[in-house]
Structure 1
Amino acid sequence: MSSELMDSFCLLRLTVTLLALLNPCLTRLTPRVSFPMGSPGRRLTCFSSHDLSNTTTLLLSADGEKLYVGARDAVLLLDVGHKDTVLLRSKLDWSPSEKDLEECSMKGKKMADCPNFIRVLQFFNSTHMYVCGTFAFSPRCAYINSETLTMSLNTDEGRGRCPYDPYQRNTAIIVGEELYTGTVADYRGNRPVISRHLSEGSRVDLKLDDTLGWLEDPTFISSKFIPHEEKIYFFFSEVGREYNFVDKFIVSRVSQICMSDVGGQRTLQRRWTTFAKAQLLCQDGSELPYNVIQDIDLLPPAEGTSVDDILFYGIFTSQWAVNSGRSAVCSFTLTEIKSIFSGNYKVLNRDTLQWSARVQEKVANPGECGLHNASDNALRFVKENFLAEDSVRPAGRRLTLVSREHIYSHLTVQRVQAANKKLYTVLFLLTESGHLHKAVLLQQGSYIIEEVQVFKPPQPIRSLMLSIPKGMLYVGTSEGVVRIPTANCSYYWTCAQCVLSRDPFCGWDAASRACVEVSVTQTALGQDTDGGNVEEACNSVSVTHRTKFGPSKMPAISCPAGELVSVSLNDVVRLHCPAASQLSHQLWERPNSRLSSDLYLHLQDGSLSFVATPATLGHYLCLSTENGYRQTMAIYHVKQKSSPVAQTPTSYTRSHTRAQPTREGPKATESRPAVTKPSLAIRNTPVTTRQLDRNLTLWMKEYENLETKFRDGNPLLSACCPSYLKELVVVSVLLVLCLSLLITVTLYVLRQRWRRQTAPGMGTPSRSSDRRTPEEQESLRENEFGSKANGQVPSGGHASGLVCNGNLTDSTQNLPNTPF
């Protein structure tokens, strides 16, 4: 590479890096609700055992009743047909002997890596499975009866079918009782290979030619079978030799082989003649690409559409530091992949090992099925032209989802039909920290419905499997298997919360007053996945039901009775407000009053803090706003203690999740209350909608009984808005007194000025002043001088002044600067 080209590339790379750093379009994807491990709002079924570890491979039966688990030194058969439990039906132990372990240790391997880790687990036919394991760095394979879990007497050598190292990724799939694998074929892991095994009759086992450089240090991810194409697609990442970078540049690939391939007659004997590969480019505009593929899943075409409308959804990360800690999801269409493979191919110069665009005449179409009967000239052309010139770009030329907070490791995808018969795509994404994200793809972008913690402490995820007929997800980690229902509709107990979830699985049934799963038998369900509009979606709900369970505005009655908080004056009061979701915004209101920033402090967790004074006593309402919908989350009545004896706040709710208001002593008024991190987020403290609405219902039921409970000298809680009649009378009297005082003083000043103008000898002292003693005159002069200098009433035996309309008066109703 010339120095000019190198400088240009460095400048381009720096420019792209700066653009990525300054990109304002990367928004934060926050799950609406979050369920910690063991949360009652999200029921998980776990299976674990003291002798079970490293569940690296999962295989689900066609009926969804049995789950086969490939673990360390064992294969398990789990009964997953029961709703609340996962039962162990049988277990097959398959571990290396002591001699095998000793040989593994002598090869320089750690004893922790020498057991038999199951890496291939596939159905061979209707009665048997084909299983392969690392077996102390000497891979072996065997047939296992899928009903009795018994192994055949003879085992096969697993070289080229299973990796040696348990940490190396591989892929395997059985089609037509033939095994197609992508793995390494040597002990050191330097010979990557895509091969076919278990061929019979006229068909022969095939593999890639090691000397051709068809694979460059790959990491195999997955393999998918396309029936109508009779092709198998392999997905992996490798070093991109077509880029002459200083550092190794990783690229993601899709490759294909034809199942009908039997190799060439003279050229490429027992080698693939239909192998071709292309780059998968997960990139948005001019940003740096997410170039390292982590996982991929296939979404079949919708009913009534073309068979080529298959979508491949993949997780990608980046080797660039600017995208460190981020993940992106891209989708690719089968139509686009086929178009790339039918286009032009690059040519590799064997002498210089440089790739270039094709200039000579095209002899054959690389990747085309049926080339095993082609001429030697055509096969030699295919042998050197296997890299497509163009890259496969994502559907819609944009990224499906980008997360800057989470690194996703596995995904699975499902198409869901909502209540309005519209189809939505739902992604289930697993993070490296052991959390499951459920996201729906909308026109305006991705929306994460919920987050579920799968394990605590977090465990590395080994496998993920989806059972669409049963509506279940299965997650395998280093310690066991977790089953998670795909739908969680019963968590939402109001029509508003059911609609705001925007879950295409769920809709509000007005007849049963419950959020239920959408099915073909359900009609007229309240649901709005696209917009989450509560008012429109809940129109079918009766007025009575809406008032009881989910009022969209302030209740028609004054308000339900809330929680009584007894405080002493000058105490610091903190009122907590539970969040309806992690996307909601909390706000506080007082009836007929404004929450001034001088008196009130809004904390980050949504709580309200203030000092108890006569002006701050009264009712407080905490409201939650989400997507234009407002609901009352908590109601408090702050009152002064009737006696100096400490009282405990009396609560008239049955909520155990809402934090109690805290009161601090008078010393707390000297410092500003500390702003704490959100402690009421659903992730840390689950606050279910069911509990909140039960609180509101209980408040309404006890509304009529509270009047008698608080009649003994305490203000009634039956009215949401306190009476300010006494305050109005006091303010009116003070205003009248001040006006009268001002008029009187004004008239007195005018009268004194008129006397001085009309009295003779106004420059000489009066007789009355002459009668004063020298001491009295000196004291009067000092008082007048101090009043003029400080503008204050002189200290003495007079009463303190009263400020009225900006004028300062004393008890004698004379202005301080006016002589007696």
Structure 2
Amino acid sequence: MNIRPSVCPLTLNIIKVRLPHWRMENHSLLYLIMALLGFLSPCLTRLIPRVSFPLGSPGRHLTHFSSHDVSNTTTLLLGKDGDMLYVGARDAVLELDVGHKDAIVLRNKLDWSPSEKDLEQCSMKGKKMADCPNFIRVLQFLNTTHIYACGTFAFSPRCTYINSETLLMSVKPEEGRGRCPYDPYQPSTAIIVDGELYTGTVADYRGNWPVISRHLSEGNRVDLKLDDTLGWLEDPTFISSSFIPHEEKIYFFFSEVGREYDFIDKFIVSRVSQVCMSDVGGQRTLQRRWTTFAKAQLLCQANNELPYNVIQDMDTLPPAEGASADETLFYGIFSSQWSVNSGRSAICSFRLTDIKSVFSGNYKFLNRDTLQWSTRVQEKIANPGKCGLHNASDNVLHFVKENFLADEIVRPVGRSLSMVSAEHSYSHLTVQRVQAASNRNYTVLFLLTESGYIHKAVLLQGGAHIIEEVQVFKQPQIIKSLKLSTSKGVIYVGTSEGVVRVPTANCSFYWTCPQCVLARDPFCGWDPASRACVKASDSQTSQDVDRGNVEEACNSVSLTKKARFAVICISGSCFAGELVSVSLNEVVRLQCPVVSRLSQQLWQRPNSRLSPDLYLHLEDGSLSFVATPTTLGHYLCVSTENDYQQTMAIYHVKQKSSPISETPTSYIPGTGLLQQTSVGIWGTQVTIRQLGRNLSLWTKESGEIKSGTQEGNPQVLARGPCYLTELMVVSVMLVLCLSLLTTILLYVIRQQCHRQTAPQLGTTTRNSNRSPLVEQEALRTDKCNIQALHSRQASGFVCNGVLIDSNGHLETHPYLK
């Protein structure tokens, strides 16, 4: 199982909430319980996809179609034989040839865009120009030769008939009000049955008039719709519609405001409603209105938490071959309107038998004066929702008009959730019943996440198991769609950027019997004859979807230590391990391939324990350590999944030896031996062979075989490593350092001696010696005075840098003022 329980000491059995049954008088109690459930919500288990394929991964082949002049390819219609895919895009209808294995080819294109005048009027109404083109929202087969298409057409819906062979319009487009929404992002649903169009959409420009209607009625039948004055719908969001042939009914799935609950805030509920194909409206009461309309609440809720009350998508799973039509199942994605459940999605399934039982039961009564709902206790005049009421009396039709909400609630199969995700928000789904090799049927869900991944999940008795996740787009997409082709075994994903084709099975990715069985994919089984994982078409293939027991399915036994050193084969190539040459004190990092996100990786050494003081286990499963004589040797990574162990990587960490030229380890097919050839120091060819944990060395010159068992390393026959070069380098460096230190010391001593022998100045008397500098200065002064006496007529001259005037006085300097 890929369910990993969260550590939570509390249990959800503390309180039991049955929210839809409450008549809330004290609203504070509701918020208190919601807050309490918010603390309990982390106790949910986690669902982890076993394998993840990012966009462009070689392990999952996808086929893309895109074109620079085509966008919003989100409305998909699959041809009857599955070789053609019709796509409603922006301003165009495409015909794609999907019959080729590795390509999707554009065969034809119908351009259908508004005129410049239409776009200008759309912009004048206050709409963005990006929303004014013609977005095709309805694309259905009308008959064997024509397709009926409707588009938003600049917020003025238009519909037309298109020849499916030539992709040309047969008639001029007509008004599409009530058949197609005005807004390209307004949710809606449409289905054509026997040439008549049944829709759930809005019929006005502002989106305030929701309708469930029938168009293109044939014969004496008239188009029908809901009476907008009766409040039959309360701000609905239409999700999908489904036709049940043996019932001759159309079922609509949507969410709306639940007026039957008296809450402060609007309480959103999910609904299923029905109309009969034979309905033609009443003769006086309910003229041109549905007489068979009825609706009921869908409850997707676990026993002890708030309900997942907002429906996101719904798909129909027909009954198994030979089963009753009442065993038809409806699988839906539900989310919660409360922040305590934000970011989570739940999957619930509903049985047609339970829906029919609720519609045949009691109905609530709406008091028009107080707008309060109550359960009718008086005699039941008629059964709302019953087909054939168009000829009933006015009294019966009046009763039906006032009683259209079923009193009981449609609960999921088993009164439990089929699947719940605490990490992913799902937006779309499609469901398929798959027959495994054991002839047992399994339900497989294909779920599209908001982040752009498709999750492939199988529903088991112990819970859901997500087999894989495949990324189909990266950029956020506003409108998306899924279309499953069971005959071709592919899923088509329509996004704003193009169409992606995803095969439902990916059996060839699993290269061994254990991997094929551990995938637990009902599509895949191990074929012993071809020794490959193939589509499980007969009972000869090995498979165990429920338990994933490798030992029984592959006839294997638990791996022993010796067997764990066997050769690893991946995608047809066999490896005996990798030789890693390192230097001492070098940081080594050994990688371990992770083939499953549900597995746990464990590193081992033969006859040795990995001490946490020496080894570091990293988050990606790799092992890091420092190369020392103790850490040299063999390492292997063992993966454990569902109690099955298998070796994923083998390494032989060896110290580098420069005189030896080493070659990678090779595998000898059919022998299970490892062989490594190298040239020794003296030119001797050395061959290392390994069988299990026994390592041997054989030398050509002597022909002698020697074995070593310590730490899985062979005894070295050649000379040990030589450190002469390293010793010489260290010695030279030591001599240079000593010489430098000696030089510096001698220089310091010489400087100190020189200072001690220098003469001492400044101790002579005043009368004996005047400094030579002082005497020279005095002579220069006397000379200047004599010159001044002989040059009195001069205006002034400079003596010793001082300006002297004609009188022999110093001239005042500006800075001396």
Q: For this structure pair, what is the TM-score category when the shorter chain's length is used for normalisation?
A: 0.7 to 0.9
Compute the displacement of 1:113 (Å): 0.4
- Alignment correspondent of 1:480: 498
Compute the displacement of 1:391 (Å): 1.0
Deviations 1:419-466 (A, max 9, x none): 010000000000111111100001100000110000234544521100
Q: 1:313 to 1:617 in 2, by over 3 A?
A: same
**From 525, 535, 544, the counterpart of 2:551:** 535
Counterpart amino acid of residue 718 in structure 1: Q
Compute the displacement of 1:558 (Å): 5.8
Give SS of 1:308's match: helix
- Alignment correspondent of 2:98: 80
The answer on whether the counterparts of 1:170 and 1:183 sit within 8 Å (CA) in structure 2 is yes
Q: 1:13 to 1:394 in 2, by over 3 A?
A: farther
- Alignment correspondent of 2:298: 280
Superposed, 1:92-107 pairs within 5 Å as 92-107=110-125
The answer on whether the counterparts of 1:410 and 1:429 sit within 8 Å (CA) in structure 2 is yes
Q: 1:123 to 1:727 in 2, by over 3 A?
A: closer
Compute the displacement of 1:13 (Å): 3.9
Compute the displacement of 1:386 (Å): 0.5
Counterpart amino acid of residue 89 in structure 1: R
CA distance in 1, matches of 2:712, 2:398: 99
**From 596, 606, 615, the counterpart of 1:600:** 615
Give SS of 1:288's match: coil
CA distance in 1, matches of 2:565, 2:504: 41
Q: How many residues align?
A: 670
- Alignment correspondent of 2:793: none
Deviations 1:537-583 (A, max 9, x none): 112xxxxxx8xxx9955564964442122222222222111112111
TM-score, normalised relative to structure 1: 0.78
Counterpart amino acid of residue 612 in structure 1: A
Deviations 1:257-285 (A, max 9, x none): 01111111110000001100011100000
Q: 1:66 to 1:555 in 2, by over 3 A?
A: farther
CA distance in 2, matches of 1:557, 1:624: 11
Higher deviation after alignment, 614-623 or 332-341:
614-623
Q: 1:709 to 1:183 in 2, by over 3 A?
A: farther
The answer on whether the counterparts of 2:46 and 2:422 sit within 8 Å (CA) in structure 1 is yes
Give SS of 1:455's match: coil
**From 138, 142, 149, the counterpart of 1:124:** 142
Matched, 1:173 2:145: no
**From 383, 386, 401, the counterpart of 2:419:** 401
CA distance in 1, matches of 2:565, 2:554: 23
- Alignment correspondent of 2:644: 629
The answer on whether the counterparts of 1:564 and 1:649 sit within 8 Å (CA) in structure 2 is no
Structure 1: segments with no counterpart, 5+ residues: 540-545, 654-696, 729-820
CA distance in 2, matches of 1:628, 1:243: 50
Give SS of 2:634's match: strand
Matched, 1:496 2:514: yes
- Alignment correspondent of 2:471: 453
**From 86, 89, 109, the counterpart of 2:107:** 89
Matched, 1:525 2:546: no
Give SS of 2:36's match: helix
CA distance in 1, matches of 2:76, 2:478: 15
Deviations 1:143-181 (A, max 9, x none): 000010010232221000000010101100011111000
The answer on whether the counterparts of 2:634 and 2:712 sit within 8 Å (CA) in structure 1 is no
CA distance in 2, matches of 1:517, 1:25: 37
Structure with the larger strand share: 2
- Alignment correspondent of 1:705: 675
Give SS of 2:72's match: coil
CA distance in 1, matches of 2:453, 2:247: 36
CA distance in 1, matches of 2:544, 2:281: 54
Deviations 1:455-510 (A, max 9, x none): 23454452110010111100100011011111111111111111111110011111
The answer on whether the counterparts of 2:634 and 2:711 sit within 8 Å (CA) in structure 1 is no
Matched, 1:568 2:598: no
Q: 1:142 to 1:555 in 2, by over 3 A?
A: farther
Q: 1:233 to 1:557 in 2, by over 3 A?
A: closer
Counterpart amino acid of residue 129 in structure 2: M
Matched, 1:385 2:385: no
Superposed, 1:464-475 pairs within 5 Å as 464-475=482-493
The answer on whether the counterparts of 2:432 and 2:444 sit within 8 Å (CA) in structure 1 is yes
CA distance in 1, matches of 2:530, 2:561: 25
CA distance in 1, matches of 2:385, 2:364: 13
Matched, 1:305 2:323: yes
The answer on whether the counterparts of 1:348 and 1:356 sit within 8 Å (CA) in structure 2 is yes
The answer on whether the counterparts of 2:27 and 2:264 sit within 8 Å (CA) in structure 1 is no
CA distance in 1, matches of 2:668, 2:677: 15
- Alignment correspondent of 1:153: 171
Compute the displacement of 1:535 (Å): 1.2
The answer on whether the counterparts of 2:674 and 2:688 sit within 8 Å (CA) in structure 1 is no
Superposed, 1:572-587 pairs within 5 Å as 572-587=587-602
Counterpart amino acid of residue 228 in structure 2: D
- Alignment correspondent of 2:750: none
- Alignment correspondent of 1:36: 54
Give SS of 1:536's match: helix
CA distance in 2, matches of 1:595, 1:346: 70
Compute the displacement of 1:417 (Å): 0.3
- Alignment correspondent of 1:115: 133
- Alignment correspondent of 2:690: 718
- Alignment correspondent of 1:617: 632
Give SS of 1:165's match: coil
CA distance in 2, matches of 1:64, 1:301: 21
Q: 1:37 to 1:552 in 2, by over 3 A?
A: farther
Compute the displacement of 1:374 (Å): 1.0
- Alignment correspondent of 2:772: none
- Identical-pair percentage: 74
TM-score, normalised relative to structure 2: 0.79
- Alignment correspondent of 1:367: 385
Matched, 1:331 2:355: no
Compute the displacement of 1:193 (Å): 0.2
Compute the displacement of 1:726 (Å): 11
Give SS of 2:229's match: helix
Q: 1:23 to 1:115 in 2, by over 3 A?
A: closer
Deviations 1:713-769 (A, max 9, x none): 9994636467366999xxxxxxxxxxxxxxxxxxxxxxxxxxxxxxxxxxxxxxxxx
Counterpart amino acid of residue 465 in structure 2: Y
CA distance in 1, matches of 2:662, 2:34: 59
CA distance in 2, matches of 1:83, 1:710: 54
Give SS of 2:82's match: coil
Compute the displacement of 1:648 (Å): 11
- Alignment correspondent of 1:744: none
CA distance in 2, matches of 1:87, 1:566: 51
Compute the displacement of 1:709 (Å): 6.2
Give SS of 1:282's match: coil
Q: 1:553 to 1:66 in 2, by over 3 A?
A: farther
Q: 1:281 to 1:5 in 2, by over 3 A?
A: closer
Give SS of 2:46's match: coil
Higher deviation after alignment, 206-215 or 364-373:
364-373
**From 237, 243, 250, the counterpart of 1:219:** 237
CA distance in 2, matches of 1:503, 1:459: 29
Deviations 1:656-706 (A, max 9, x none): xxxxxxxxxxxxxxxxxxxxxxxxxxxxxxxxxxxxxxxxx6798794531
Deviations 1:126-159 (A, max 9, x none): 1001100000010010000001001023222100
Matched, 1:507 2:540: no
